[in-house]
Amino acid sequence: MKLGFYPGCSLEGASREYNESVMAIAEKIGIELVSIPDWNCCGATAAHNLNKELSLSLPARNLALAEEAGLTELVVPCAACYSRFTMVQHELMHDEPLHKRVNEIIGKEYKGNLRILNVIQFIDEYVIDKLDENVKFEFNKKVACYYGCLLVRPNKVLKFDRTEDPQTMDIVMKKLGADAIDWAYKTECCGAGFSVSFTEAVARLSGNIVEDAVHRGAEAIIVACPMCHSNLDMRRKEIDKFNGKKSDIPVIYITQAIGVALGIDHKKLGLQRHFVPVNLKDFKPFVKKEIDVEKPQNMEVE
Amino acid sequence: MARIGVFICHCGENISATVDCPKVSEVAAKFPGVAFSTDYKYMCSDPGQSLVVNAIKEHKLTGIVVSACSPRMHEPTFRRACAEGGLNPYQCEMANIREHCSWVHEKGDKTDQKAIDIVRMMVEKVKRNNALLPIKVPVTKTALVIGGGVAGIQAALDIANAGHKVIMVERDPSIGGHMSQLSETFPTLDCSQCILTPRMVEVAQNPNIKLYTYAEIESVEGFVGNFNVKIRKKAKSVDETLCNGCGMCTTKCPNKKNPNEFELGMGNRPAIYVPFPQAVPNIPVIDKTQCTYYKNGKCKICEKVCQPKAIRFDQEDEIIEVAVGAIALCTGFDIKKTDFFPEYGYGKYKDIIDGLQFERLASASGPTSGEIRRPSDGQVPKKIVFVACAGSRDPAKGIEYCSKICCMYTAKHAILYKHKVHDGQAYIFYMDIRAAGKNYDEFTRRAIEEDQAQYIRGRVSRIYERDGKLIVVGADTLMNAQTVEIEADMVVLATAGVANKGAEELAQKLHVSYDQHKFFSEAHPKLKPVETNTAGIYLAGACQSPKDIPESVAAASGVAGKIACLFANSELTREPLIAMVDRQAPPMYSSCTGCFLCQPVCPYNAIEREEVKDRNGNLVRELAFINPGLCQGCGTCVAVCKSKSIDIEGYTNLQMYAEVDALLNS
Ligand SMILES: Cc1cc2nc3c(=O)[nH]c(=O)nc-3n(C[C@H](O)[C@H](O)[C@H](O)COP(=O)(O)OP(=O)(O)OC[C@H]3O[C@@H](n4cnc5c(N)ncnc54)[C@H](O)[C@@H]3O)c2cc1C
């Protein structure tokens, strides 16, 4: 099984452990992730604030390259890249003149046949059914699954999970034996791109998230976005200052959590790279159990 | 020789801005058989109609084509003018160059050509029109009222007091509808039960009204003046003629822990129950899904304690057939439940309730005897948040419309809360305060000024529970969109008003149209607000859109007025545009071969067998005959008739072919 893969800048830089853990679980499950040849920046937050055509063309070129490489499905772990890709695809497929114009700019023909998946969609479609046979350890911790803003929004375009109370990660963690708590900040903003330019805002927004997770007794926050991760992990000093108390709750990518349960070496999952040390121990051997969760339907109105 | 007149209307600018009317008139003047052609700014105006009348007389016209708007709009107007000019009214045809042409195309030669073609078709048709005479049908002077909420009650009483018979069909075990669940009513704060109950009793006692509760409409056939309705009277498992309403059965029923629908789940009721103490009729029903006897075959305690021996475990649903002349649809509305709101916890927090539940808490006859106590632990909430527009005016939720009643009842709730919890504080998140109506704005001011409700203009993005409090997170848009967080003890969502359950099925049974939200549609939003587009079927109250009590009652009286007008005539005049089977002189009699393939396809059961006999009374032939009282002119029989012996008057095959021919050979 072969799927396309777009790492983007964060997975090659600040979020290397995300990349490492995605690759590690894909390998374990028997899926080959093929990077788009000669990929470029997705434009991230900067391009769509400055120049509309540029913001469409940067992702469009990547998508066209992926098609040229014969890929039909593309896994995009970074939530921001994922958002840009899906939005561009949506916009181009609903606006013919714009589509033509962007093809002209990138000098390629993007047909729009790609399916774009974020990591939780990838897990939902390709990994979750293989868990029972591969999992070695029970992830017997209380966890707060944090989705942030981009993974499940806007529903009109993504048609995946439910915007206000998403469940996909919760279901995966429950399957792994975790106690995924019901909490208040699942989809609240972490401060995203303001990590560098407006750190106080991040301290406040991410502070509320960490505080609520800790208050409800979570032992780890589970994420699937490099920005969420760096805000909750790297900015912990500022967060603790804002909250006026020290916190040691680790922030773990969902792929790392799955990797731990699959029995992959913690180093290979990059768990040592975090600012807030991950000291999760005492995992018990996995015993399969039936969990009573209903798969979330696409709840929004068309 | 045909002498046809063509009248091209500008419809102000509706047509003339797009279609070159003088040109169309000029071209039409040259069509074969056209003796007169002209154009005019408003053909439907008085001078426009006189123009038509005079032209018919002056030019000795044999038929006219009015080229203007849809026949739905003004066909009756011009048929009248046609008759005034001395012609049979059915010698008039409308060529629709507005809806079918000017409104849907750009200005240009092609559009003009289309208008010309439409006129040409109708000229060819009208040349072949026959003089027709209207059909008279009798009127059954009994009205059917579906739904026994305040609207249905009002309609039934008004019709009955006008001297006509009324049959009322109510789905629930009691009439009363939502109003029977309300505590006090805005804008006067009079007790809802106190003003409603006397009217409910009046319904039960009025000799002109026959009430069927726990009943639904099974099928409706026929047409204005002559509907045949089947009513399914669900088995109550109680003989209504014997039951004296003593209440022994409900008191002694051992199976008491069933969620009480009337209290919206905030209380229990026995398996045999009367929905509320003032119910009309005061006769219990057994809920078969809950009754121990129906489930396990044992118990029958109610039967043992019933003195008049009214319990009937073997009772079955009954189908009752009635003939009525008019139908009033009064089936009301429903509201969204709290589980519709993921951002407010999907209904999982007990202390987030909807407006109707608050009504029950505030009601003296409710589960807390009128004290405001929250469902989770019975505490009196000291901080309460009301969220207006929960779901309403929110395209993302699929509900773009304003539910209209919530601004007012939320203000009412804040007032009632303050009257009951003096040291409590109410907060209201709102978008706009829509309080248009007599004494309505004064009422919301009273909530703010006298009862210190704190109105916050902004929406609530999320509500979550933390340490036993409900944290309400919203924005104050009048304070620079600042985030507001309130730690509340209880939250009331003014959830959107939506169409009632079963509205769509009912509309389909009755052939009335409904909108995308499943509310029934009125025939015209301004001029026919209580009519549906099916003649003889009317609508009142919240089944049309969310409405408050005064509006529902006014509409219901409107319906009653309409029905009284209808019943003022003993005969109705119907359009003669119905199917006819060919008849000829003997020995042919008809081209009909008597195959009767048409009989099973007729949706109105209008086709009968006619025996043709010779002078000696011997049967010669059997021919199809169409009952003019039943035929609706749908044309299905025309399509299946192998010998081409059936035609729709006014739309004969000859006329239709002439139209097509005119179009193809233009
Ligand atoms: C929380 C709340 C507070 C309110 N407060 C006020 C107030 O203070 N003042 C005010 O003026 N208005 C108020 N209203 C509005 C008021 O409830 C409505 O205006 C009124 O109930 C509408 O009456 P109705 O007869 O049209 O519909 P309903 O009251 O809904 O009655 C419809 C009836 O039809 C029956 N029915 C439904 N379907 C069928 C079927 N298929 N066959 C047979 N029967 C059927 C139902 O069982 C019901 O008995 C409030 C509404 C709410 C939700």
Interchain proximity B342–A183, CB inside 8 Å: no
Bridge partners, residue B143, by sequence: B166, B326
pLDDT at residue A295 in the model: 60
Distance between CA atoms of residues A177 and A141, nearest Å: 8
Condensed to tens digits (0 to 9), the pLDDT of residues A107-150 reads 999 999 899 999 999 999 999 999 888 999 999 999 999 999 98
The rounded Å distance from CA B446 to ligand 1 centre is: 25
Q: Using an 8 Å Cβ cutoff, are A220 and A247 in contact? A: no
The three-state DSSP-derived secondary structure of B157-203 is HHHHHCCCEEEEECCCCCCCHHHHHCCEECCCCEEHHHHHHHHHHHH
pLDDT at residue A280 in the model: 81
Q: Tell me, what DSSP letter sits at residue B519? A: P
Looking at the partner chain, which of B343, B398, B465 has a beta carbon nearest the beta carbon of A164?
Answer: B343
| CA contacts within 13 A on the Cβ side of B70 | 5
Instruction: Collect all residues with Cβ–Cβ distance below 8 Å to A144 and sequence separation of at least 6.
Output: A180, A181, A183, A185, A186, A212, A213, A216, A218, A220, A221, A222
CATH match of B333-498 with 3.50.50.60: yes
- Measured between beta carbons, the chain B residues lying within 8 angstroms of A163 are 342
Condensed to tens digits (0 to 9), the pLDDT of residues B235-253 reads 999 999 999 999 999 999 9
Condensed to tens digits (0 to 9), the pLDDT of residues A49-96 reads 899 999 999 999 999 999 999 999 999 999 999 999 999 999 999 999
pLDDT at residue A287 in the model: 81
Regions in chain B scoring below 70 on pLDDT: none
Residue type, A123: I
Interchain proximity A165–B464, CB inside 8 Å: no
Where exactly are the structural domains of chain B? 4-127, 142-234+317-332+500-566, 248-305, 333-498, 579-649
Q: Which fold has domain A2-119?
A: Glutathione S-transferase Yfyf (Class Pi); Chain A, domain 2 (1.20.1050)
Q: What is the DSSP string of B539-553?
A: E-GGGTS---HHHHH
Q: Give me the interface pTM, i.e. the ipTM.
A: 0.82
pLDDT at residue B159 in the model: 98
The three-state DSSP-derived secondary structure of chain A is CEEEECCHHHHHCCCHHHHHHHHHHHHHHCCEEEECCCCCCCCHHHHHHHCHHHHHHHHHHHHHHHHHCCCCEEECCCHHHHHHHHHHHHHHHCCHHHHHHHHHHHCCCCCCCCEEECHHHHHHHHHHHHHHHHCCEECCCEEEECCCCCCCCCHHHHCCCCCCCCCHHHHHHHHCCCEECCCCCCCCCCCCCHHHHCHHHHHHHHHHHHHHHHHCCCCEEEECCHHHHHHHHHCHHHHHHHHCCCCCCCEEEHHHHHHHHHCCCCCCCCHHHCCCCCCCCCCEECCCCCCCCCCCCCCCCC
- pTM (2 decimals)? 0.83
Bridge partners, residue B229, by sequence: B220, B322
Interchain proximity B342–A165, CB inside 8 Å: yes
Interchain proximity A301–B346, CB inside 8 Å: no
Distance between CA atoms of residues A143 and A140, nearest Å: 9
Condensed to tens digits (0 to 9), the pLDDT of residues A264-277 reads 999 999 999 999 99
- For residue B184, CA distances in Å to B198, B413, B491 come to 16, 9, 20
Looking at the partner chain, which of A163, A184, A302 has a beta carbon nearest the beta carbon of B464?
Answer: A184
Instruction: Collect all residues with Cβ–Cβ distance below 8 Å to B624 and sequence separation of at least 6.
Output: B581, B592, B594, B596, B598, B599, B607, B608, B609, B610, B637, B645, B646
- Measured between beta carbons, the chain A residues lying within 8 angstroms of B498 are none
- Measured between beta carbons, the chain A residues lying within 8 angstroms of B396 are 300-301
Only one residue has tokens 């003649």, namely B535
Bridge partners, residue B190, by sequence: B185
Instruction: Collect all residues with Cβ–Cβ distance below 8 Å to B7 and sequence separation of at least 6.
Output: B37, B38, B39, B40, B43, B48, B51, B52, B55, B64, B65, B66, B67, B68
Q: How confident is the model at residue A259 (pLDDT cuts 50, 70, 90)?
A: very high
The rounded Å distance from CA B549 to ligand 1 centre is: 8
Average pLDDT estimate for A200-219 = 96
Interchain proximity A162–B462, CB inside 8 Å: no
Nearest-atom number in ligand 1 for the CA of B216 is 42
* Ligand 1 environment, Cβ below 6 A: B 146-152, 169-172, 177-179, 182, 185-186, 216, 330-333, 335, 355-356, 359, 405, 409, 412, 500, 502, 506, 541-542, 547-550, 552
pLDDT at residue A302 in the model: 38
Only one residue has tokens 């049979």, namely B88
CATH match of B579-649 with 3.30.70.3270: yes
List Cβ<8 Å contacts ≥24 apart for A56-60: A56/A88, A56/A91, A56/A92, A56/A98, A56/A102, A57/A102, A57/A105, A57/A106, A58/A84, A59/A84, A59/A85, A59/A88, A60/A88, A60/A92, A60/A102, A60/A103, A60/A105, A60/A106, A60/A110
Residue A46 near chain B (CB below 8 Å)? no
Looking at the partner chain, which of B397, B398, B471 has a beta carbon nearest the beta carbon of A184?
Answer: B471
Judging by DSSP bridges, how do beta strands A2-5 and A32-35 pair with one another?
parallel
- Measured between beta carbons, the chain A residues lying within 8 angstroms of B343 are 164-165
Distance between CA atoms of residues B506 and B93, nearest Å: 35
Q: What is the DSSP string of B629-652?
A: TT-----HHHHH-TT--EEETTB-
Q: CB count, 10 Å around CB of B495?
A: 26
Condensed to tens digits (0 to 9), the pLDDT of residues A2-21 reads 999 999 999 998 899 999 99
The rounded Å distance from CA B340 to ligand 1 centre is: 20
Q: How confident is the model at residue A292 (pLDDT cuts 50, 70, 90)?
A: low
Q: What is the DSSP string of B299-350?
A: --HHHHH-TT--B-TT---EEEEEEESEEEE---EEE--GGG-GGGTTT--T
> Which residue in chain B has the smallest CA separation from A166?
B342
By the 10 Å C-beta count (0-12 exposed, 13-18 middle, 19+ buried), B409 is classed as buried
The CATH architecture assigned to A135-285 reads: 3-Layer(aba) Sandwich (3.40)
Interchain proximity A184–B343, CB inside 8 Å: no
Interchain proximity B462–A184, CB inside 8 Å: yes
Q: Using an 8 Å Cβ cutoff, are A103 and A110 in contact? A: yes
How far does A164 lie from chain B, in Å, by closest CA?
Answer: 5
Q: CB count, 10 Å around CB of B631?
A: 24
- Measured between beta carbons, the chain B residues lying within 8 angstroms of A188 are 462
pLDDT(A301) > 50: no
pLDDT at residue B573 in the model: 86
Size of interface A-B (CB pairs under 8 A): 23
pLDDT at residue A165 in the model: 85
**Best of B154, B169, B178 to mutate for ligand 1, by most ligand atoms within 8 A of CB?**
B178
The rounded Å distance from CA B183 to ligand 1 centre is: 13
pLDDT at residue B396 in the model: 87
What are φ and ψ of residue A51, in 5° steps? -145, 115
pLDDT at residue A294 in the model: 62
pLDDT(A298) > 60: no
Condensed to tens digits (0 to 9), the pLDDT of residues A19-30 reads 999 999 999 999
Q: Which fold has domain B142-234+317-332+500-566?
A: FAD/NAD(P)-binding domain (3.50.50)
Judging by DSSP bridges, how do beta strands B482-488 and B469-476 pair with one another?
antiparallel
The rounded Å distance from CA B360 to ligand 1 centre is: 14
pLDDT at residue B517 in the model: 97
Instruction: Collect all residues with Cβ–Cβ distance below 8 Å to A195 and sequence separation of at least 6.
Output: A202, A227, A230, A231, A234, A235
Q: CB count, 10 Å around CB of B148?
A: 29
Q: Which fold has domain B4-127?
A: Rossmann fold (3.40.50)
